[in-house]
Amino acid sequence: MPSAASVRLSASGLVLGEKTVPLLSGSVHYFRLARSAWRPALDALRRLGATMVDVYLPWAVHERPDGSFDFGSVDPRLDVAHFLKTAHELGLYAIVRPGPHINSELTLFGIPERVIWNEACQARSPNGARVVLPIPPLAFPVPSYASKAFHVEAARWLAAAATELAPLQWPDGPVVLGQVDNEGALYFRDGPYDQDYHPDAIAQYRRFLRQRYPNDVALRAAHGASAGSLATIEPPHELDATSPDELARHLDWAEFQEALLEAALYRFRVTLEKHGLDRVPMFHNLPLAETSTPLDPKRVERAVGFVALDYYHHASEKTRREIARRTSGLAERSRLKNAPAFAAEMAAGFAPYFPPLSEGDNAFSVLTALAYGLRGLNMYMAVTRDRWIGGAIDTDGKPRASADFWRRLFAALERTRFHELTRRVAVAVAVPRSFDRLVRVCHAFGALPPTFFALGGEGAERGALEDGDDPTGGAVLETERFVRDLVLVLERMHVAHAVVAADLLGDASFDAPWTIVVCPGALESELTTLLLDRVRRGRPVSFGPRLPERTAAMKPMNLHVPVTLPVGVPMLMPSGYAPLADAVDRALVATGAERLAAEPSSVFSTVHVDVGGEPRVLFVINPTESAVEAVVLAPRVRSARDALTFEDVLVTGEHVVVSIEKHSARMLELTSRS
Q: Return the bridge partners of 69, or none.
A: 63
pLDDT score recorded for residue 469: 78
Mean pLDDT of the 128-133 span:
96
pLDDT score recorded for residue 456: 47
pLDDT score recorded for residue 439: 93
Name the band, by pLDDT with cuts 50, 70 and 90, for residue 593. confident
pLDDT score recorded for residue 130: 97
384-397, pLDDT tens digit by residue?
999 999 999 999 99
Mean pLDDT of the 472-482 span:
94
One-letter amino acid at 436 equals D
Give the residue, 69 or 592, on which the prediction is more confident.
69
9-50, pLDDT tens digit by residue?
999 999 999 999 999 999 999 999 999 999 999 999 999 999
pLDDT score recorded for residue 458: 46
Q: Return the bridge partners of 541, or none.
A: 515
508-562, pLDDT tens digit by residue?
889 899 999 999 999 999 999 898 888 888 788 999 999 999 999 998 887 666 6
What is the spatial distance between Cα 392 and Cα 372, in angstroms, rounded to a whole number?
24
Question: Residue 266's Cα: distance from chain center in Å?
Answer: 18
CA distances from 205 to 144, 189, 196, 233, 384 (A): 14, 18, 10, 9, 43
What is the spatial distance between Cα 53 and Cα 400, in angstroms, rounded to a whole number?
18
pLDDT score recorded for residue 448: 56
Structural domains in the chain? 8-197+249-420 (3.20.20.80), 427-591 (no CATH), 598-672 (2.60.40.1180)
pLDDT score recorded for residue 453: 54
pLDDT at position 183 over 70: yes
633-672, pLDDT tens digit by residue?
998 899 999 999 999 999 999 999 999 999 999 999 999 8
pLDDT score recorded for residue 558: 78
Closest C-alpha to 418, from 660, 175, 643: 643
51-75, pLDDT tens digit by residue?
999 999 999 999 999 999 999 999 9
Mean pLDDT of the 86-115 span:
97
Inter-residue contact 572 to 623 (CB < 8 Å): no
Q: Which helix (H) or strand (E) holds 622?
A: strand 615-622
The DSSP string of 65-113 is TTS-B-SSSS-GGG-HHHHHHHHHHTT-EEEEE--S---TT-GGGG--H
Mean pLDDT of the 439-452 span:
68
Mean pLDDT of the 440-457 span:
61
- Cβ burial of 128 (10 Å; 0-12, 13-18, 19+) is exposed
Ranges of beta strands (E only) in 104-236 are: 132-133, 140-141, 175-179
Name the band, by pLDDT with cuts 50, 70 and 90, for residue 1. very low
pLDDT score recorded for residue 75: 97
CA distances from 118 to 148, 202, 502 (A): 12, 19, 40
pLDDT score recorded for residue 4: 58
Give the residue, 305 or 460, on which the prediction is more confident.
305
pLDDT score recorded for residue 446: 54
pLDDT at position 444 over 60: no
The proportion of the chain whose per-residue pLDDT surpasses 90, expressed as a percent, equals 86
Mean pLDDT of the 150-171 span:
98
pLDDT score recorded for residue 471: 93
Mean pLDDT of the 68-96 span:
98
Mean pLDDT of the 464-480 span:
82
Mean pLDDT of the 564-582 span:
85
Mean pLDDT of the 237-266 span:
96
pLDDT score recorded for residue 136: 86
19-21/342-347 β-pairing: unpaired
pTM over the 0.85 mark: yes
pLDDT at position 449 over 80: no
Measure the CA angle with vertex 486, ends 481 and 489; round to 5°. 125
Across the chain, mean pLDDT equals 93
Question: Residue 514's Cα: distance from chain center in Å?
Answer: 24
330-379, pLDDT tens digit by residue?
999 999 999 999 999 999 999 998 899 999 999 999 999 999 999 999 99
